[in-house]
Amino acid sequence: MDIQILPSYQIDTAKWDACVESNANGLIYATSDYLNAMADNWRGMIIDDYETIMPLPWRNKWGITYLYNPPFTQQLGLIGKNCRMDDNMLQALNKYARYGDYFFNHANEFSSSNHSIASKSNFILHLSQGYNHTNLNYSNELKGYLKKVTPFQLQLANADITTAIDAYQMHYQERMPHLKQEDFDRMKKLCALLETKGRAFAKAVIDNTGKQLAIGLFLKDNKRIYNLMPTTFPDGRKQFAMHFLLDSILKEYAGQQLLFDFEGSDLPGVKRFYEQFGSTNQAFLHWHFNHLPWLLRLVKH
């Protein structure tokens, strides 16, 4: 097995992105466009001439290089022929980063159990069998909410991506204090690029007066639609606007060979909401590691 770890500027991005696109666990977060936009710095582990790749976002503090999770990046991990993290890969990685947090993708495993690993929830829904099959698995509660939508005369409309990002930031940033203005600005720049490639779009729910009740930013690749930034406005909660928005997206893309990726979550209320759509939990792994010298371990747990 030939393992290299290269800085981003030395990576063959055509081969890198081809690996992401051609493998089922190659998610949009691992593309070179996404990493270049959202990571402060990144390297790539490359195994056997891009048969397997692994993005490694990093920062440096006090002279210590560590792995971290870039904003709006749910899972990265090993992509390609080899999806099991083994000792050879760990030894190679340890030369570059001896501390950090990392989110592997849903297909990844560890060859050893001697690691600090936690399972995280992510809910997905297969769209290929069509809408009539999809909504059969809706919970009775969700079906009831969607029936209540009818008198409100809600409509789905195309929306501006920047507006969707601004709405999400305005309504939810207090719950996510780790996110900075720079992170949202980076996402706007990334989405401007992705939109030109047909990989980003925004949709809004409006009432019969044209008032926005909910808005969502979605990313799309050849495998998934990603529910990246859903926002419900106060009046929209009373009219079940987010239920209507997600149901409308599922209806629009029904029958295509795609997964709808709800993007989490382990928060009980959010988890329950996504489960109402008949979604299944495609769990992924969070890895925390600390291979620093013992004195530094006392500082960095």
Strands 64-67 and 52-61: antiparallel
Per domain, the residue ranges of the chain are: 3-121+283-297, 123-281
Which ranges of the chain have pLDDT less than 50? 295, 299
DSSP for 161-214 reads HHHHHHHHHHHHGGG-TT--HHHHHHHHHHHHHHHHTT-EEEEEEE-TT--EEE
Q: What number does CATH give the domain 3-121+283-297? A: 3.40.630
Amino acid of residue 243 = H
Residue 22: both structure tokens together: 């051609």
> What is the C-alpha separation between 61 and 67, in angstroms, rounded?
11
Nearest to 49 by CA among 25, 21, 81: 81
Residue with tokens 């495993």: 109
Residue 227: both structure tokens together: 């529910």
> What is the C-alpha separation between 159 and 206, in angstroms, rounded?
10
Contact 87, 53 (CB under 8 A): no
Which residues, other chains included, contact 101 with Cβ-Cβ below 8 Å and sequence gap of 6+?
67, 68, 69, 286, 287, 288
Nearest to 45 by CA among 33, 57, 37, 36: 57
Q: Within a 10 A sphere around the Cβ of 226, how many other Cβ atoms?
A: 23
- CA of 206: how far to CAs of 65, 84, 149, in Å? 47, 46, 12
The reported pLDDT for the residue numbered 264 is: 78
Quick one: three-class SS letters along 136-157?
HHCCHHHHHHHHHHHHHCCEEE
Residue 38 CA neighbour count, 13 Å, CB half: 27
The reported pLDDT for the residue numbered 248 is: 96
> What is the C-alpha separation between 12 and 26, in angstroms, rounded?
16
The reported pLDDT for the residue numbered 114 is: 67
> What is the C-alpha separation between 4 and 37, in angstroms, rounded?
23
Domains 3-121+283-297 and 123-281 share a fold: yes
The reported pLDDT for the residue numbered 15 is: 98
The CATH-assigned architecture of domain 123-281 is 3-Layer(aba) Sandwich (3.40)
> What is the C-alpha separation between 107 and 77, in angstroms, rounded?
9
Contact 79, 53 (CB under 8 A): yes
pTM of structure: 0.93
